[in-house]
Structure 1
Amino acid sequence: MLFLKATKDTLKDLNVKPHPVESTDPFFSWHVNIFTLYGKKHYVFMNDLSRLSLTVKGIRSNSTKVQEIFLTHLRHYFAVEKISNVLMNAYLDNCKEFVLTKTDSRSVRSTLNEIMLIMKSLERDHEDLKDQDTRHKWNNRFIYKPIDYNEPIDVFRKELDERFGSQA
């Protein structure tokens, strides 16, 4: 099951009430925040376990298709990173059901705020980061203390291999 953990501003923008949950699998949990980049509204999704992030535009207020839009972008990003179809499908098969809930990790929120701050500070100077694929690859190669100074894409790939590698 996919867990989208939205900030108060995000919940307000989507006009939804969060569902209470007791526990989640960090590999299938993503914190979500809303912010403005290049003059347009974007949502930033960050995986709780790996700190892998996706920045998505085109989610409208009151949208009921957050899960669908997120999974479409995630599938595309997996292809950009050349993650095998077997591993990609294994992960996405576990995301068919989803729950929208509140944020619950200050550590993930801090990392999420950090990547948003970096993107905002670079939006004037780096036209190449307007390209979504370039921005995702660039963002997912930062190193973070909560993941033992590894790159988010490496942590995510390792977890994919550990969980679903036998299916490949």
Structure 2
Amino acid sequence: MLIQCTKKLLDTLKKRPDHVENVPPLYSWHANLLTINRRKTVVLMNDVSRYTVVLYGLKAADFRKLDGLIADAIRRTLSDASVNPEIIERYLSASPGCVYAKTKNRAMVARLNKACENVQFRGEVLDPNDLIQSAAGRGTSKILVGNSSGDYIIPDEVMYKELAKLTDQPVIQCRAAVIKATLVLENHDVWRRVVVPLDITFRQLHRILQVLFQWTDSHLHEFTVYKGGKPSARLVCDKEALDFPGNIPMFMENDRLLSEFARKGICIIYAYDFGDGWNHVLKVESIDENSTKNVPVCLEGKENTPPEDVGGEWGYEDYLKIMNDPTHPEHDERVEWSGDQSDQIFDLDDVNFRLETML
């Protein structure tokens, strides 16, 4: 693997740059060293696709074993994107080890700097307990960027096309579930049907549901898995909840994958905002064992979601009554209170755009 480093990174590695020619762009990466949240961070950008891989919180000892960390980071980032493991290993074995050289030219450095900016923008979500920041790399690789011909590309799509040339197998290989999520409302039919990869955590499922229903992630939430009509597991977002165990096994949502519980026909209740009491019934309608889509996709949906903090179902009915009556004495006050939520509508294209860039 050819790693073309900025001077700052070469100085940190205490390496003299090698002179290397004729390395295929798929096996060539540009790399920079920067500081994010006071932690040393290496950002790698693939030359042909601009796919991004991130190492975060590096110590002096880590730089001495950077070859292995780079291979591990590429492997984990592609694996978390549901790339076929055989293709990943074929890619890594085709160019074992790392050779370090100077950056190629100003154009490539400009592209690398843009990738670094996009990683820095995601600084608040970087995990201080993990060297390999798979989510940041994959998220950055979903951002539309320009190329030398004046067109725009999405790095991960280009990377998958390049990897496809190494084999006749599908690049993306994962299991996925079709889930119908219904917001429990007596007088309204609010639901979304979505395809989600099964190898996501319940924390990621929470984020997907927030996008689907246009919530703002301003309140606590939890999941309850039902088996045979009875609750069999609770997945919570707050560690303090673990101090109050009940008769149902309780787990942190970050520690469990959807695949551990999802079966055709199973029911999961997603509770959001315990004050307003928004309950969503998640029904697993089917399982696709050979999905080639590694991001959630909303297939269809119906009706809009109530505004945040509206006061639950009763408050929502009162809100609608006032909003639909311009002569009501509280109408103007409610319009001002609701702000952007007053004209919030379910837009399938917008929802899918947001879903595609989140995992």
Could you state the TM-score of these two structures normalised by the residue count of structure 2? 0.43
1:56 is matched with 55
1:81 is matched with 81
Structure index of larger Rg: 2
Per the alignment, do residues 46 and 65 of structure 1 end up closer, same or farther by CA in structure 2, a change over 3 Å counting?
A: same
Query: SS at 1:166's partner residue?
Result: coil
Q: Deviations over 1:91-126 (max 9, x none)?
A: 011121331111113222111111222333453xxx
1:116 is matched with 116
Which amino acid in 2 is paired with 1:18?
P
Query: SS at 1:45's partner residue?
Result: strand
Query: SS at 2:104's partner residue?
Result: coil
Query: SS at 2:32's partner residue?
Result: strand
Q: Quick one: distance in 1 between partners of 2:37 and 2:86?
A: 35
1:133 is matched with 134
Per the alignment, do residues 70 and 143 of structure 1 end up closer, same or farther by CA in structure 2, a change over 3 Å counting?
A: same
Which amino acid in 2 is paired with 1:130?
L
Between 1 and 2, higher relative CO (CA 8 Å, sep ≥ 6) is seen in 1
Per the alignment, do residues 42 and 20 of structure 1 end up closer, same or farther by CA in structure 2, a change over 3 Å counting?
A: same
The alignment's C-alpha RMSD in Å is 1.9
Q: Quick one: distance in 2 between partners of 1:58 and 1:71?
A: 17
The percent of aligned pairs where both chains have the same amino acid is 26
Query: SS at 1:165's partner residue?
Result: coil
2:105 is matched with 105
Once superposed, which parts of structure 1, at least 4 consecutive aligned residues long, lie more than 4 Å away? none
How far 1:130 moved relative to its partner? 1.5
Q: Quick one: distance in 2 between partners of 1:97 and 1:137?
A: 23
Alpha carbons 1:51, 1:108 under 8 Å: kept:
no
Query: SS at 1:159's partner residue?
Result: helix
Higher percent of residues as helix: 1
Could you state the TM-score of these two structures normalised by the residue count of structure 1? 0.87
Structure 1 residue runs without a partner (length 5+): none
Number of aligned residue pairs: give it: 162
Per the alignment, do residues 66 and 120 of structure 1 end up closer, same or farther by CA in structure 2, a change over 3 Å counting?
A: same
Structure 2 residue runs without a partner (length 5+): 128-132, 171-359
2:234 is matched with none
How far 1:76 moved relative to its partner? 0.7
Q: Deviations over 1:27-56 (max 9, x none)?
A: 100011000011100001110000001110
